[in-house]
Amino acid sequence: MTDPTTPEGEVSNAFADNERAARQGGGFQSPAHHLDQVNLTDQPRSRPTQFGAPRLDDAQLQHKVRVCNELLHAVGCALEQSSGLGGPVQDWIQQSIDCAPPRLAPLFSGIRADTAGRLNEDHIAHNVRSRPPMEQRRLINDGLLDLMDRALSRAADALPEDALDQLLTQTAGYRKRMGL
């Protein structure tokens, strides 16, 4: 046993069980009025916990594709007006679609741009819905943003400065319109 006058003894006495005799050698005891009773049989059922982003509904999907189509159409019109295209708008947009990064390729599988350079909303929706639900929002957001950024980047290389300024003014805020 340690000497109670030493600092070590003072510390160990501070944590000593001085109520052991009052408990009569037993463990923790408390009066019944201090204990709460919990009834687990009548608990309301809650929705299961969902991890990740909220699910993508059809209206959101269509809106995002429309924003992308508006931008692609504006890029195509600007290129046609400045004669910086070197071919039909459809071919130029299709090249942008075909060079999507591999992680985004499932979104553009089998997608063909129409003569105005727009994407088929139904085909995009089919490609998105064929992916797991938790992957859909990321795929549509990342895929369409990447396509729009690449189209604007390619247009910046092909357009004269004044036409590019006009195009960028016309398409400003496309990220916000997509809801990002």
In a domain, 40, yes or no: no
In a domain, 94, yes or no: yes
pLDDT along the chain (180 residues), means of 10: 55 68 63 71 67 78 94 90 72 88 92 88 93 90 94 90 92 88
172 neighbors 160 (Cβ within 8 angstroms):
no
In a domain, 37, yes or no: no
179 neighbors 60 (Cβ within 8 angstroms):
yes
* Angle, helix 89-98 to helix 58-82, in steps of 10 degrees: 130
In a domain, 20, yes or no: no
In a domain, 73, yes or no: yes
pTM of the model: 0.68
In a domain, 8, yes or no: no
Report pLDDT for 127. 94
In a domain, 9, yes or no: no
In a domain, 35, yes or no: no
Q: What is the domain range of residue 102?
A: 58-175
Domains identified in the chain, total number: 1
